Amino acid sequence: MDESSGNLIIVSGMSGAGRSSVADVLEDLGWFVVDNLPPMFLTTIVEQVVGTGASPRLAIVVDVRTGSFFDELGSALEDLRTKGYRPLTLFLEASDDVIVRRQESVRRPHPLQGDGRLLTGIERERELLGDIRAGADLVIDTSNLNIHQLAARIVNAFGDEEKIELRATVVSFGFKYGIPVDADVVADMRFVPNPFWQPDLRPMTGQDKAVSDFVLGHPLAQQFLQNYVDVLDTLRTGYLNEGKRFVTVAIGCTGGKHRSVAMAEEIAKRLREKGSPTLVVHRDLGRE
């Protein structure tokens, strides 16, 4: 892995998905942050800041606010790679309805809206950002995250570390609310008996010991845990060999309250025991 990996981040993503909030968190973590940089200056700023040792860690926010200059991002990133720099790319995503709500709350037009509708600007932006999203090292869907939860994701991914290690986020979710769009791997817990049908367990969640014991105590759950954590350990080795430092593991059940929550907590515990810094997010808990 190139020595610049992990010390250089390109932050991009949808307008209204939280780029400014992420920039603030990175600054608090000690990163030197450059916002709204035209891609034509990307190599120059990296060479001056990282190449000369002026700052050990540099984050650059690049997005469609630069207008026609944004078209040069692909060639600028390729120029960086030819000069030996290996930036990590963070892409911030959000659903159309959430972006609309956020844009309207700040009373600012979308940068690509022009004289058209807000949704037209969002559609254009998704098209322009398609390639960078597809090649991103880490995609975070902020649709259901508040500012504190987003900050926790950034701290988990880009906080201080003593060695390179795969950083995991384990997300519990309910299938009836949709699969998380930023998931790298997805597992379905609906093969385990549902605590919902136990009157004494129904009001509880997978964070309660009684529910956790009920879910994890099932023989199939035990077998799944053993096999699945072994699979994730294999992925960990392969991802690190390929330079991928982040993985989002989505664990689902029907409503995201019992089985997926208990299993996500246990999987996160076992990943931490194997040395992977791991954050747990219960996306749909309390939504029923």
140-177 pLDDT, tens digit each: 999 999 888 898 889 888 876 555 678 899 999 999 99
Query: pLDDT per residue over 44-84, tens digit each?
Result: 888 888 766 666 789 999 888 766 667 778 888 888 888 88
Co-location of 138 and 267 in the same domain:
no
Cα 96 to the center of its chain, rounded Å: 17
Whole-number pLDDT of residue 224: 97
Co-location of 35 and 148 in the same domain:
yes
Co-location of 45 and 150 in the same domain:
yes
Mark the binding-site residues for GTP, compressed into ranges: 63-66
Mark the binding-site residues, compressed into ranges: 13-20, 63-66
Co-location of 18 and 154 in the same domain:
yes
Mark the binding-site residues for ATP, compressed into ranges: 13-20
Query: pLDDT per residue over 13-24, tens digit each?
Result: 998 899 999 999
Task: Choose between 286 and 255: higher pLDDT.
Answer: 255
User: Any idea which of 104-113, 166-175, 181-190 has the lowest mean pLDDT?
Assistant: 104-113
Co-location of 39 and 59 in the same domain:
yes
Whole-number pLDDT of residue 259: 97
Whole-model pTM?
Answer: 0.67
Contacts for 18-24 with beta carbons within 8 Å, 24 or more apart? 18/92, 18/94, 18/140, 18/142, 18/145, 18/147, 18/150, 19/61, 19/63, 19/92, 21/147, 21/150, 21/151, 22/90, 22/92, 22/150, 22/154, 23/59, 23/61
